[in-house]
């Protein structure tokens, strides 16, 4: 299968994939190591704050990015160099305005947001630190996607490794508190992004007409996809937030950790989407649907194989993995991990195929698929709270079933693409 996949892409594409996969693999290793280091340095409560913060970040990021993560690599490959700069600086202005708005909203209701996320009104500072941290990640996402859209995967990969790998690792050794850990990363990432911006992207005087034109281009496409990204972030955050309010903080932290392991596995496949969306956009633009069909079929098989292998590993090595990270109540948490990973096939199918769907449809088909699966989650959760006793196992079964439904909806959409092309 791998040999056939190699034949379908050029040697330059292979280099791009190799660099990007290599960097994402390093980030995955560092991310796994961070859980171990945080557990050792921040103790049990700090570890829970860390894992819950991961889920909060996963929700806030797509909310404030308003679809830019897919809009930038969609349009940058097909516009002029000057237009690329206009689009980039427009995105920076927009995310900064949204950051200010969300920060002001937090200051209006700090205890409410702290209670919602951590099940405790006294974690306000950590919530605020998360908001600042998300802003630093948004600036990273803009400059990262700028180079991604220009097919400069070397610079984008270097930025990815520094901002998402090296800096978090360094800060874990420097501080022993989640609050200063988040603030420290935020400061360093903003510095790196500013230096990279000034070095590689010329400053321009953005006129009102240029801003309006770039804004319309980005948000006509991106804003309709934002609900899907936000709902997906909430999809993975909600089990943790529910656990924070229904169960103990330690249980919520362990559930968040298990969800993070699922995301780490999926993140390993993210280089496919990193490279595929801008390239798929060009393929669709050139109407080379035969190539699109061949690539999507191979990627579908690859995602299923990776999903099956992940389930096998978790089933046999789950307790050992949890023991490595010194997770409390290993036997119970190992069961939660198995339940969550029973949804990995559906999620991996969605994660790999979503870029092809985004490239093929102008309408937000992925958003519709995510919304359908999320509604299944909400309805199932509502019924469980009224007809049976809610437990962590029930909550996670609902999550796993719903995320597999997302995979099924994605598969149905892919089949529709094959018929149309």
CA 251-253-255 angle, to 5 degrees, is 70
Q: For residue 262, which of 203, 370, 341 has the smallest C-alpha distance?
A: 341
Helical H segments across 76-222, by residue range: 81-108, 110-118, 124-149, 153-161, 167-174, 178-200, 208-222
SS3 209: helix
The DSSP call for residue 165 is I
Per-residue pLDDT of the chain (421 residues; tens, 9 = 90+): 444 444 444 555 667 667 777 887 888 889 888 988 988 888 878 888 998 998 899 889 988 888 887 788 778 877 888 888 999 999 999 999 999 999 999 999 999 999 989 888 889 999 999 999 999 999 999 999 898 878 788 898 999 999 999 999 999 999 988 999 999 999 999 999 999 999 999 899 899 999 999 998 888 777 777 788 888 888 989 999 999 988 988 899 999 999 988 988 887 666 565 555 556 656 665 666 676 677 778 778 888 888 899 999 999 999 998 888 878 788 899 999 999 999 999 999 998 888 778 777 777 788 899 999 999 999 999 999 888 888 999 999 999 999 999 999 999 998 888 887 6
The DSSP call for residue 78 is G
| Beta-carbon count within 10 A of 408 CB | 16
d(CA 240, CA 384): 17
The two three-digit tokens of residue 117, written as one number: 């996320």
Q: For residue 52, which of 254, 220, 327 has the smallest C-alpha distance?
A: 254
d(CA 228, CA 370): 6
List, in order, residues 6 or more apart from 163 with CB less than 8 Å away.
Answer: 136, 137, 140, 144, 189, 192, 193
Numbers of helices and strands, H then E, in the chain? 19, 0
R_g over Cα of the chain:
21
> What's the pLDDT score for residue 4?
45
> What's the pLDDT score for residue 21?
75
d(CA 182, CA 171): 9
> What's the pLDDT score for residue 279?
61
List, in order, residues 6 or more apart from 65 with CB less than 8 Å away.
Answer: 95, 138, 141, 226, 229
List, in order, residues 6 or more apart from 379 with CB less than 8 Å away.
Answer: none
Torsional class of 257: left (φ above 0), alpha (ψ -120 to 50), beta (otherwise): alpha
């Amino acid at each position: 299968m791998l040999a056939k996949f190699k034949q379908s892409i050029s040697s330059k594409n292979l280099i791009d994939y190799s660099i990007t996969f290599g960097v994402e693999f390093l980030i995955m290793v560092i991310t796994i190591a961070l859980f171990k280091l945080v557990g050792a340095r921040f103790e049990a409560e700090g570890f829970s704050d860390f894992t819950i913060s991961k889920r909060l970040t996963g929700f806030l990021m797509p909310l404030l990015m308003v679809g830019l993560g897919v809009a930038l690599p969609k349009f940058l490959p097909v516009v002029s160099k000057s237009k690329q700069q206009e689009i980039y600086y427009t995105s920076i202005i927009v995310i900064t305005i949204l950051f200010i708005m969300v920060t002001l909203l937090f200051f209006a209701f700090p205890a409410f947001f702290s209670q919602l996320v951590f099940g405790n009104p006294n974690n306000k500072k950590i919530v605020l630190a998360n908001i600042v941290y998300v802003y630093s990640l948004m600036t990273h996402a803009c400059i990262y996607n700028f180079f991604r859209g220009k097919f400069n995967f070397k610079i984008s990969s270097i930025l990815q490794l520094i901002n998402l790998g090296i800096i978090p690792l360094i800060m874990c050794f420097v501080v022993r508190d989640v609050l200063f850990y988040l603030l420290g990363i935020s400061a360093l990432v903003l510095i790196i992004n500013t230096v990279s911006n000034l070095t590689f992207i010329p400053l321009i005087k953005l006129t009102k007409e240029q801003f309006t034109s770039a804004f319309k281009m980005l948000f006509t496409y991106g804003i309709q996809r934002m609900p899907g990204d936000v709902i997906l972030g909430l999809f993975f955050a909600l089990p943790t937030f529910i656990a924070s309010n229904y169960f103990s903080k330690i249980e919520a932290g362990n559930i968040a950790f298990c969800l993070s392991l699922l995301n780490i596995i999926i993140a390993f496949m993210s280089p496919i989407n990193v490279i595929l969306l801008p390239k798929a956009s060009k393929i669709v633009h050139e109407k080379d649907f035969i190539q699109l069909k061949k690539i999507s079929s191979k990627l579908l098989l690859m995602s299923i194989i990776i999903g099956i292998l992940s389930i096998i590993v978790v089933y046999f090595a789950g307790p050992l993995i949890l023991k490595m990270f010194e997770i409390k109540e290993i036997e119970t948490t190992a069961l939660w991990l198995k339940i969550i990973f029973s949804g990995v096939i559906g999620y991996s199918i969605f994660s790999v195929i979503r870029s092809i769907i985004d490239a093929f449809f102008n309408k937000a088909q992925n958003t519709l698929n995510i919304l359908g699966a999320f509604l299944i989650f909400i309805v199932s959760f509502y019924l469980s709270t009224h007809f049976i006793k809610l437990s962590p196992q029930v909550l996670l079964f609902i999550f796993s079933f719903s995320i597999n439904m997302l995979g099924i909806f994605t598969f149905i959409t892919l089949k529709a693409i094959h018929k149309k092309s």
